[in-house]
Chains A and B, each alone.
Chain A
């Protein structure tokens, strides 16, 4: 198991390293003088020179990359040009919005998709299956940001049950914090639930057609026992993969949802960074997103190894 873990960890580390090269190269790809592009055409030569020094643009790219990566490893992502503050601190503050949003949406997706997918697979041949399958197909086609707009229209504008926008920190008022997150979490989670339902159904159908399930049924194991002890357990490898993909999807999807509900999270920070051409901030954020996706993939791989010993000896 240790060899499997080390191998997978090194692969993930290599992916993050390559992703950091892509992120760092963004500034290199800026056409012309990056300092002039960031500050605009009217900036004085002195201001441009100061920014060139601040960004290290007067040093060779490899030296800059090594120094930037060294900072990243120590948790120092540089200084934001727009906020004049450390990027890591800014990101840390915004995570208080984006993490509950993404985790809440993933939870909603799992809690809906797992039972629906299992029911659709078990009730194949009845009305349940086409009903769940069709609903999930339509649900997967609905953009989360449009669903968010419809929720605002109905629950905030028409009914006035929940706020249309804004965020209240948990420490300030837990109830209002929850109320400010309900609609964004649902908008993000429901679309993901639709995608996950289809995948869970397919995974369950695959397992239910296996010989060991038939054997268990032939031995007189109850339907409940077959599902809980045999089918679900064996479908877990696929379901965990789906969970990993879902978490990545909702984390990225939160960028758009934050814009719909005016939530001060990472996504809005990234859009501000583009508007102000705040490269250190944007690079820090994009690297965090990419590393999170790779990290989730690594955790999925590790859980495979834990759930199915055959995989770790491959």
Chain B
């Protein structure tokens, strides 16, 4: 265990470990699903429709007799894929915008942050409605919507970090050594602001998982023929009176993953950015 991890208060350590465990199981599940699953996720078997857990179907089956555990494994892949890509887009674009705004300041700061403020008016679902109307709903539009809606948070975090660091002595030292402004930003300022960005990435992944599930549930995310947790919930809606499992299984998986990312984010904040905690 590193010194920083050892110095963590017990609560921070608990958050980090539990969050890491929850996300670890999802990542392992998604990886296992790449090579193996008890059944084909889309294979229908009308002789076992809406059955509860059994030896052959560990978590039961849905209204088409499809194996819920196999679909859960496949759904983990969709969830992680959409989460990582959308938060990745937001992290890169938001950090760039916020860092440049904070570093250059004055009119550039004002214009960039005003534009970023406008994006606050478009949460992921709203952005997805617009994009779905223009390009037809799908995984790409969902990822773009979540990514664009998350940009302002990263821009604000990056700007705050850069503002706090840009007048530091070691940054001044870089300038005194003849480094260009952009090199100073890239080599000295940005790495110093990285901690809060990593924390925000974990917390944003929690929000992205919720947003992806909500968009798929509305039919604005992952296409219906691809198993995703939101799609599974949408399909389960009409059959809940006959079997609760198709609605319970993906719901618990969503809560598990969101809780994992948010605990991991809290733990990382205690580790990397204790003052904010």
Contact = CB atoms under 8 A, between A and B. Distances in A.
Given A15-B117, A18-B115, A141-B259, A282 B241 contact: no
Contact of A19 (B121, B123, B233): B121
B215 to A, nearest CB: 9
A255 B237 CA distance: 16
B146 interface: no
A43 B217 CA distance: 31
Contact of B133 (A31, A153, A279, A297): A279
Contacts of A39: none
Most chain A CB inside 10 Å of its own CB: which residue of B121, B214, B220: B121
Nearest to B261: A141
Interface string A254-285: 01100110000000001101100101001001
B142 interface: no
A142 B247 CA distance: 13
B133 A26 contact: yes
A19 B210 contact: no
Contacts of B218: 255-256, 259, 271
Given A18-B115, A153-B244, A274-B220, A137 B122 contact: no
Interface residues of A, number: 47
> Most A CB atoms within 10 A — which of B126, B213, B241?
B126
B193 interface: no
A14 B254 CA distance: 38
A143 B210 contact: yes
Contact of A138 (B126, B134, B255): B255
A4 to B, nearest CB: 18
State the majority secondary structure of interface residues on A: helix
A31 B135 contact: yes
A149 B210 CA distance: 15
A18 B114 CA distance: 9
Nearest to B213: A143
Interface string B174-189: 0000000000000000
Nearest to A34: B134
A143 B133 contact: no
Interface string B107-136: 000000011011011110110011011110
A150 B206 contact: no
Given A18-B118, A22-B122, A26-B130, 11 more contacts: A15-B114, A22-B118, A29-B134, A143-B214, A149-B247, A152-B240, A249-B123, A256-B214, A285-B129, A286-B130, A293-B121
